[in-house]
Amino acid sequence: MTGAPLFERMALIGIGLIGSSLAQVARQRGLVKEISISTRSPATLQRAEELGLGDHYSLDAAVAVEGADLVVLCVPVGANEAVAKWIAPALKPGAILTDAGSTKESVVEQVSPHVPDGVHFIPGHPIAGTEHSGPDAGFPTLFDQRWCILTPGEGVDAVALEKLKAFWQGCGSDVDLMEPKHHDLVLAIVSHLPHLIAYNIVGTADDLATVTKSQVIKYSASGFRDFTRLAASDPTMWRDVCLNNKEAILEMLARFSEDLSAMQRAIRWGDGQMLFDLFTRTRGIRRSIIEAGQETDAPDFGRHVAGNPVSSND
């Protein structure tokens, strides 16, 4: 990006995969003039400083947001409310407050009541991630060609919204606007349910007494391995996602269980046509994802090229 930075000072609260990637891309593409970083633990803050991710570092989130015209909450969704309470009195009038959380209704409910008048709260969710966490996991191209969903409330300031959109576009993303409830339903099926299925399959395989763990690992390339990538995702983040998108996840799990029962019946009664038709339909969906540029056609999901992390949808 050329020209003046969009923001004078960006404050990142939380400096894991998302915060670190934002710091790197914002710096590299000149989107912000200064970066102020805060996180919960001294060890993570020290690591962020060693990596040179920011200009100012503080364990006090309220100090970090002082003077910032863009504040991004990059903590697990279950921590947003406490952080919002903490920083609220220190937010600069006119600042944009946003977040990267994977659920949106809960963030609106938990953060909105604490946002002072004159601060523009526009929740967000970059649909980009990997199974890694912490400041070392970040990389500046994480958001390239990925979607970022913003869920602005009614009466949002149009100028602030345009500025935040321009910021995410500068990070490489396409921006979509959505209602928080609709976001949570969509993400329940495209992200939350797949992660839960992966956690479940990997847990089941681990529990099986008749197949040894060494065999599960040895023959993992037959399908199991692809689930283990999702099942290696951060436990805190995913616990919080489950607890904060309860309704939509339960709805999708119920639907999934019904469809699984139908498949079970087809296998039991030898209904090969049903199975063949389903597998043909699903193969087409993968083709559409590749055509939409959200995945490569490379084997192994194209994610394991050494030294060249590729983002997936979170």
Q: Where do contacts with ligand NAP occur on this chain (CB under 6 A)?
A: 14-19, 39-41, 44, 74-77, 79, 83, 100-102, 125-126, 129-130, 133-134, 234, 237, 314
Least distance (Å) from ligand NAP to the CB of residue 46? 10
Q: Which amino acid is at 67?
A: G
Which residue's CB is nearer to ligand NAP, number 243 or number 262?
A: 243
Which residue's CB is nearer to ligand NAP, number 46 or number 212?
A: 46
Angle between helices 246-268 and 193-207 (to 10 degrees): 60
Q: Are 23 and 17 in contact (CB under 8 A)?
A: no
Least distance (Å) from ligand NAP to the CB of residue 106? 10
Least distance (Å) from ligand NAP to the CB of residue 136? 9
CA 23 to chain CA mean position, Å: 16
Which residue's CB is nearer to ligand NAP, number 95 or number 230?
A: 230
Which residue's CB is nearer to ligand NAP, number 127 or number 205?
A: 127
Half-sphere exposure of 203 (CA within 13 A, CB side): 7
CA distance 33 to 55: 10
From the list 283, 97, 155, 94, the residue with the least C-alpha distance to 86 is 97
Least distance (Å) from ligand NAP to the CB of residue 241? 6
Least distance (Å) from ligand NAP to the CB of residue 92? 21
CA distance 91 to 13: 13
Which residue's CB is nearer to ligand NAP, number 66 or number 271?
A: 66
Least distance (Å) from ligand NAP to the CB of residue 167? 16
**Which alpha helices (DSSP H) does the chain contain, by range?**
17-28, 42-50, 61-65, 80-87, 105-111, 158-170, 180-187, 193-207, 213-218, 224-231, 235-244, 246-268, 272-291
Which residue's CB is nearer to ligand NAP, number 165 or number 183?
A: 183
